[in-house]
Amino acid sequence: MALELQTKVTKAFIDRFDHAPTWVVRAPGRVNLIGEHTDYNDGYVMPLAIDRQILIALCKRTDQKVLVHSLDYDETLEILPSSLISRGNTGWGEYVSAIAFVMTRAGYGLQGWDGVVAGDIPKGAGLSSSAALELAVANAFTLASDIPWEPLKMAQLSQQAENEWVGMQCGIMDQMISACGIAGHALMIDCRSLEHTPVALPHGTAVVVMDTGTRRGLLDSAYNERRRQCQEAAQMFGKTVLRDVDRNTFEKGAFKLTDLQRRRARHVIAENNRVLLAMQAMQSQDAHALGRLMVASHTSLRDDFEVSSRELNIMVECALKAPGCLGARMTGAGFGGCAVALITAEARTPFTDIVTQKYVDATGIQPSMYVCQAKGGVDILPDGSFSQ
Ligand code: GLA
């Protein structure tokens, strides 16, 4: 997949600019195994970087201009990072401007570049195509400007870009995993300290990404509303984030909260605990325990946090009834997009065939699903170095 995409962006770059690109950078999307809506509560998450990505073929310019063409949208963006003052573009170009803006503000002297961008992460599916684009663009700027690549710092700047420029008040999970993913592993991230620990999947298991084929509009406002509700709940305990409210304190003080606040907080507090238990389960090769935690996470997201959807619930139910399934849940922000299942590796083909059929029967919608591989974070593709 990555190789095909690499050929595609390289060829398109040569057609457009009449010479080979100096680099082809790659930033992966992600699927989150467990730990949903916990990152902006300073909690724990357990995503893995997947074999779906955004690539940019690029070459440094002698001025500060950025000229980048998107093959997926067939649009060209031209910006001057030093003179960006407010949102000027729509769609994908917004992320390029946003990264240029935050990096300039952080004091980096940015050099311009010519680029061609393309990806194979389905958009709006909860697989972090935006974070991957942000990290790929950040990497392009560091290469063109001779800035050392600092994954944590770039993840933080990318989050700022999304919060302040794009207006989605996301946490740090997606940017962290796209920047710091480790091949063959999930990453347990403490979203407060940003400490991250690679954790391998239990032996003999595989992770399936199951796209419901549904997308939700106005995701940002529903998401930002959840974030606000969590802050309000934390404030009722005299804290700024729910990470600092332990289960005892919550149970004793829950009467102070409205029913809605109580359910939101209960999800976050229990979900943080589930991530810690999931890490233990993975380290002790207990695939069944991990699967059960994923199911509990889904129930909590559906009933307490209310970010699931009819199709996500149906997909999870179909998966749980299929042979070889150890656990399943919605993944990402929710409201549509993808669910994730943990299965026994030998069940792959019957599993995806059976779930597809059951889901089509129940919804009339054709889903797409694939067994994903855990990949490393942002990198420069080895064959991407061509002499100019
Ligand atoms: C989106 C956000 C993340 C995280 C998830 C929910 O993907 O970008 O920061 O909050 O939703 O866990």
Q: What is the mean pLDDT of residues 356-379?
A: 97
Mutate to test the pocket of ligand 1, among 39, 41, 224 (most ligand atoms within 8 A of CB): 39
Give the C-alpha separation, 137 to 116, whole Å. Answer: 11
Q: Which residue CA neighbors atom 11 of ligand 1 most closely?
A: 333
Per-residue pLDDT at 385: 45
Top pLDDT among 87 and 306 is at 306
Cβ 132 vs Cβ 155: under 8 Å: no
Helix (H) / strand (E) element for 129: namely helix 129-144
Per-residue pLDDT at 116: 98
Give the C-alpha separation, 356 to 67, whole Å. Answer: 41
Give the C-alpha separation, 278 to 291, whole Å. Answer: 9
Q: Of all residues in the chain, what percent carry a pLDDT higher than 90?
A: 91
Per-residue pLDDT at 88: 56
Give the C-alpha separation, 168 to 159, whole Å. Answer: 9
Per-residue pLDDT at 91: 87
Q: What is the mean pLDDT of residues 226-230?
A: 97
Q: How confident is the model at residue 11 (pLDDT cuts 50, 70, 90)?
A: very high
Pocket of ligand 1 contains residue 42 by CB under 6 Å: no
Mean pLDDT for all residues in the chain: 95
- Give catalytic residues, as residue numbers: 174
Ligand 1 center–CA 162 separation, angstroms: 12
Q: With 90 as the cut, is the pLDDT of residue 384 above it?
A: no
Q: How confident is the model at residue 3 (pLDDT cuts 50, 70, 90)?
A: confident
Give per-residue pLDDT as tens, 321-334: 999 999 999 999 99
Mutate to test the pocket of ligand 1, among 129, 156, 173, 267 (most ligand atoms within 8 A of CB): 173
Q: Which long-range contacts (CB under 8 A, 24 or more apart) does 228-235 make?
A: 229/260, 229/261, 229/264, 230/37, 230/40, 230/41, 230/264, 230/265, 230/268, 232/261, 233/257, 233/261, 233/262, 233/264, 233/265, 234/41, 234/265
Ligand 1 center–CA 171 separation, angstroms: 6
Pocket of ligand 1 contains residue 330 by CB under 6 Å: no
Q: What is the mean pLDDT of residues 208-228?
A: 91
Rg of the chain taking only CA atoms, in angstroms: 21
Pocket of ligand 1 contains residue 40 by CB under 6 Å: yes
Pocket of ligand 1 contains residue 311 by CB under 6 Å: no
Using alpha carbons, list the distances in angstroms from residue 329 to 71, 342, 361.
Answer: 32, 9, 20
Ligand 1 center–CA 166 separation, angstroms: 14
Give per-residue pLDDT as tens, 158-215: 999 999 988 889 999 999 999 999 999 999 999 999 999 999 999 999 999 999 999 9
Q: Which residue CA neighbors atom 9 of ligand 1 most closely?
A: 171
Give per-residue pLDDT as tens, 32-64: 999 999 999 999 999 999 999 999 999 999 999
Q: With 50 as the cut, is the pLDDT of residue 386 above it?
A: no
Q: What is the pTM of this model?
A: 0.96
Give per-residue pLDDT as tens, 71-125: 999 999 999 988 887 665 568 999 999 999 999 999 999 999 999 999 999 998 9
| Total Cβ atoms within 10 A of residue 259 | 8
Location of structure tokens 């003999």:
204
Pocket of ligand 1 contains residue 36 by CB under 6 Å: yes
Per-residue pLDDT at 2: 80
Q: How confident is the model at residue 388 (pLDDT cuts 50, 70, 90)?
A: very low
Q: With 50 as the cut, is the pLDDT of residue 245 above it?
A: yes
Q: What is the mean pLDDT of residues 267-281?
A: 98
Q: What is the mean pLDDT of residues 332-360?
A: 97
The atom of ligand 1 lying closest to the CA of 172 is 9
Ligand 1 center–CA 201 separation, angstroms: 21
- Domains of the chain, start order: 2-33+45-195+376-380 (3.30.230.10), 198-372 (3.30.70.890)
Ligand 1 center–CA 350 separation, angstroms: 31
| 45 token code pair | 């998450």
**What DSSP designation does 123 have?**
T
Contacts of 123 (CB under 8 A, 6+ apart): 129, 215
Pocket of ligand 1 contains residue 174 by CB under 6 Å: yes
Pocket of ligand 1 contains residue 332 by CB under 6 Å: yes
Pocket of ligand 1 contains residue 162 by CB under 6 Å: no
Per-residue pLDDT at 82: 85
Ligand 1 center–CA 169 separation, angstroms: 9
